[in-house]
């Protein structure tokens, strides 16, 4: 069996509290985009994960391995498998590259073994793998709350192009949250973002984009702000960081602008991508 695992973008991300267990409560609006990894799984005599990128770990640090063993133990699956991962989503980027791969394994096992799991059962497994995994299971525009386990689809009518830039460095989500301090600042456009997406209000989407982690990431590496300034000056209607970074995205209705941006930045940064929302 072979499947695509799609990346995500945060149009809105606020950290609204810290729980007793150390996790943070979040309010997010996320969209799946047309950038994807490919996973292929076959029944075999032993268990093996291979990846086309040498820098990607293929042991227990990989969410694919974590999701794989969790699905096997939870649902009593005895078979061994070979899993091949073709990696297109960059690491430490804020695009849920690891999470979407873990979600793909959960979906594939559900289909391969006819488990017929409910949304709750799928979500209960997914949240044990990672905070973004429940969203990645369903690959639909959604508001996401709690630690990532409360996923509510949004009837998105607004569409636009996105241009992604990843600088040479990545940012560790774990490290960024470890030094993040809850402050009185609060994003106040959560509901406005949802309404704008539902009502095809592109100007409202641009106005409502928010990422509480962006300033923290800029403190970690000021080059984040340099990329934001470059894309803003290039003509994108709104520019922001996704997740905990380090990918910066610009949005526009003008496909020609994105095409020109690809030509302008392709030799300046190690990763650039023209993409759009799926689903």
Adjacent-strand bridge partners of 240: 249
Give ranges for CATH 3.30.230.10 in the chain: 2-153
- For the stretch 47-72, pLDDT in tens is 999 999 999 999 999 999 999 999 99
Active site residues: 8, 132
- Distance CA(247)–CA(60), nearest Å, equals 25
Instruction: Look at the chain and count its residues.
Output: 279
Cα 49–chain centre separation: 22
What's the pLDDT score for residue 51? 98
Q: Under CATH, what is the fold of the domain 2-153? A: Ribosomal Protein S5; domain 2 (3.30.230)
Locus of tokens 């995205």: 249
pLDDT 10s digits, 118-172: 999 999 999 999 999 999 999 999 999 999 999 999 999 999 999 999 999 888 8
End-to-end Cα, the chain, rounded Å: 22
3-state secondary structure of 99: helix
**What is d(CA 79, CA 119) in angstroms, rounded to the nearest whole number?**
24
Answer positive or negative: Cα dihedral of 201, 207, 209, 212: negative
The pTM assigned to this predicted structure is 0.95
Cα dihedral 20, 59, 244, 8 sign: negative
> Is the domain defined by 161-276 classed in CATH 3.40.50.1970?
no
Q: Which part of the chain is CATH 3.30.70.890?
A: 161-276
């Amino acid at each position: 069996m072979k499947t695509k695992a799609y990346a995500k973008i945060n149009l809105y991300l606020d950290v609204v509290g810290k729980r007793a267990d150390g996790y943070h409560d979040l309010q997010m609006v996320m969209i799946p985009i047309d950038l994807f990894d490919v996973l292929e799984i076959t029944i075999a005599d032993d268990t093996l994960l291979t990846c086309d990128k040498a820098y990607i770990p293929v042991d227990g640090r990989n969410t694919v391995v974590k999701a794989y063993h969790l699905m096997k133990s939870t649902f009593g699956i005895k078979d061994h498998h070979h899993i091949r991962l073709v990696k297109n989503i960059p690491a430490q980027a804020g695009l849920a590259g690891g999470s979407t791969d873990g979600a793909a394994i959960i979906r594939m096992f559900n289909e391969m073994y006819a488990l017929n799991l409910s949304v709750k059962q799928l979500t209960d497994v997914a949240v044990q793998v990672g905070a973004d995994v429940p969203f990645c299971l369903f690959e639909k525009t959604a508001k996401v709350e709690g630690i990532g386990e409360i996923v509510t689809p949004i009837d998105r009518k607004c569409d636009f192009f996105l241009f992604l830039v990843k600088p040479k460095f990545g940012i560790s989500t774990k490290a960024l949250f470890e030094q993040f301090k809850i402050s009185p600042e609060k994003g106040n456009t959560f509901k406005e973002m949802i309404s704008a997406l539902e009502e095809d209000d592109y100007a409202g989407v641009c106005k409502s984009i928010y990422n509480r982690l962006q300033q923290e990431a800029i403190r970690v590496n000021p080059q984040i702000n340099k990329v934001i300034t470059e894309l803003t000056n290039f003509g994108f209607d709104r520019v922001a960081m996704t997740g905990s970074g380090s990918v910066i995205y610009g949005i526009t209705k003008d496909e020609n602008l994105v095409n020109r941006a690809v030509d302008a930045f392709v030799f300046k940064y190690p990763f650039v991508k023209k993409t759009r929302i799926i689903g």
